[in-house]
C-alpha cells in the first residue's frame, strides 16, 4: 500500500484537499482508504443509541453494522493512542492510504498552507514533508502546488510513492 499524508496547521485546507484527492484517485481507478487524526475526543456514536449504551457499559469494542456500512469502535480507556503504523495495519489492503494530520509521523506528506492563516510553514523543520500546496507563493525550496490543482498534486503523490 502506498502511504501519503496531508498535514498543515488548522484551517489550511487539509480536509478539503484530502477529500478532493480521494475523489481524484478513485476516478483513476485506485482504491483508497483514509486515516484522520483528531486532537480532541471524538465520538462517532450518539448518546442514547444502543451501541453508545454498550460502550458506556464497558464494552472494549463495539461493531455497529447495517446493510450500508459497518463501523468498529474501539475504546481506549487508559491505553495510549495508537500509532499511525498500528492504525494502517488494521486497514484492508488498498492502493493508497491518505493520512490527514500526524505532522510528526515519518510517512511522506504534503503540507497545506493558506496565506490568511498567517502561520509559518512546517516544512523547513520536518523532513517528511515533500511538497507544499498553498494559495500563495510559499517560501520554500520544495515543490509548491496551487492548493486547488488537485490533479497535479495527485500526480506528484503517485510519482513520489513510486520511488
Distance CA 112, CA 2 (A): 20
Domains and CATH numbers, the chain: 2-43+80-162 (3.40.50.300)
131 in Cβ contact with 144 (< 8 Å): yes
What is the Cα–Cα distance from 140 to 115, expressed in whole angstroms? 14
User: Which carries the bigger pLDDT value, residue 105 or residue 41?
Assistant: 105
Q: Are 106 and 130 in contact (CB under 8 A)?
A: no
Q: State pTM to two decimals.
A: 0.90
Q: Give, for 156, the enclosing helix (H) or strand (E).
A: helix 150-162
Q: In what order do the strands lie in the sheet with 96-100?
A: 32-36, 96-100, 2-8, 109-113, 129-134, 144-146
- Kindly report, residue by residue over 35-88, the tens digit of the pLDDT: 998 866 667 778 888 888 898 888 888 888 889 988 888 888 888 988 999 999
Largest Cα separation within the chain, whole Å, is: 53
Residue 11, pLDDT score: 93
Amino acid at each position: 500500500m502506498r502511504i501519503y499524508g496531508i498535514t498543515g496547521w488548522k484551517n489550511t485546507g487539509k480536509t478539503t484537499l484530502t477529500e478532493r484527492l480521494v475523489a481524484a484517485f478513485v476516478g483513476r481507478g485506485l482504491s483508497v482508504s483514509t486515516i484522520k487524526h483528531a486532537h480532541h475526543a471524538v465520538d462517532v456514536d450518539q448518546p442514547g443509541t444502543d451501541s453508545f449504551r454498550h460502550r458506556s457499559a464497558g464494552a472494549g469494542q463495539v461493531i455497529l453494522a447495517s446493510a450500508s456500512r459497518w463501523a468498529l469502535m474501539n475504546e481506549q480507556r487508559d491505553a495510549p493512542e495508537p500509532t499511525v503504523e498500528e492504525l494502517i495495519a488494521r486497514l484492508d489492503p488498498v492502493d493508497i492510504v491518505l493520512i490527514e494530520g500526524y505532522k510528526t509521523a515519518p510517512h511522506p506528506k504534503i503540507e497545506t498552507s493558506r496565506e490568511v492563516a498567517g502561520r509559518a510553514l512546517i516544512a523547513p523543520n520536518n523532513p517528511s514533508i515533500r511538497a507544499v500546496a498553498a494559495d500563495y507563493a510559499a517560501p520554500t525550496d520544495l515543490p509548491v502546488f496551487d492548493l486547488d490543482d488537485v490533479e497535479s498534486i495527485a500526480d506528484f503523490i503517485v510519482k513520489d510513492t513510486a520511488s
